[in-house]
Amino acid sequence: KAAGRGRVTVFDEEMLSDKRYRRLVERELRAAVYLGELELHYQPIVGTEGSIDALEGLIRWRHPVRGLISPAEFIPIAERSTLIDMIGEWVFKRACADIGHFPGRRISINVSGEQLKRDEIVTMCERVLRETGRSASGFIIEITETVATAATPEILRRLEALRGLGFHIALDDFGTGHCGFNYLKTLPIDSVKIDRSYIRSLAHDQVAQIFVSALTQIARIQHIAIVAEGVETAEEFTLARTAGCGRFQGYFFGKPAPRDKTSALCAADGEP
């Protein structure tokens, strides 16, 4: 089934409503971890001058038959069980192994709200850091706005614990859910990523401009960094910068790419 941009939806709604089919995909996904079919690609996050200061790790599944599968397709399946914990651990281990290829840059990883429902997230991160000898300060944990607004005291405690270990916490997809500005004060976060729908609107929508400007002004007082996501054009970069964003991510600066390609990009960009 075609889903735009020549992408093929391999697991559609109908298939997933079939319990047996879902089990099959889960089994394949579990095996994928052992068979080495998962890949972590990296996309640059740049500063106002365009130099790379971090890389977001974005997972892909290279299926032997179905080809490269987007996380939007298989992460929701993984989130239905503790399979997401296994994948989350794979991602963090991969990032710890790869970070040496990106001197002076942090790696930002996506952590599912489902992972935050269990203490395992904290113990896993501690264990992987210990095993790999990496420092938490090299990593940013991205949590989505939906998780943050529905955060229970336990989830908040885990976020504080992760932050206590030295991780930076980023609030992802800001503006898509019900996150009021008050959350910037109450949540243990270091940065906010503005959803790309706002960046897309900056050129023609005054409300989006005011929203982003207000957000960056409040964030400055709270010492929270603002990242503009999905920057695709020079115009969007200029508008986001004018609105006060300090970091930028999007196809304009680079698409997600395998480690070695990203490493070469970082080398060409120089040591920060």
State which residue, 110 or 201, has the beta carbon closest to Ca ion.
110
- The first and second tokens of residue 232, run together, are 């695709």
Q: Counting beta carbons within 10 angstroms of the beta carbon of residue 231, is it exposed (0 to 12), middle (13 to 18) or buried (19 or more)?
A: buried
Cβ neighbors of 15 (< 8 A, separation 6 or more) are 21, 22
**Quick check: 256 binds ligand C2E (CB under 6 A)?**
yes
Query: For residue 12, which phi and psi values (nearest 5 degrees)?
Result: -90, 170
**Quick check: 110 binds Ca ion (CB under 5 A)?**
yes
Q: Which does 143 bind (CB under 5 to 8 A by kind): ligand C2E, Ca ion, none?
A: none
The distance of closest approach from Cβ of residue 57 to Ca ion in the complex, given in angstroms and rounded to an integer, is 9
The alpha helices in the chain, defined as continuous H runs, are: 13-17, 19-35, 71-78, 83-98, 120-132, 145-149, 153-165, 183-186, 196-201, 206-222, 234-242, 259-269
State which residue, 141 or 219, has the beta carbon closest to ligand C2E.
141
State which residue, 129 or 194, has the beta carbon closest to Ca ion.
194
**Quick check: 114 binds Ca ion (CB under 5 A)?**
no
- The first and second tokens of residue 187, run together, are 């949540």
Stretch 205-244: interaction string toward ligand C2E, x if CB under 6 A: -------------------------xxx------------
CB 257 within 8 A of CB 43: yes
**Quick check: 145 binds Ca ion (CB under 5 A)?**
no
State which residue, 193 or 246, has the beta carbon closest to ligand C2E.
193
Residues lying near ligand C2E in the complex (CB under 6 A): 43, 57-59, 70-72, 75, 91, 110, 112, 172-173, 196, 230-232, 250-251, 256
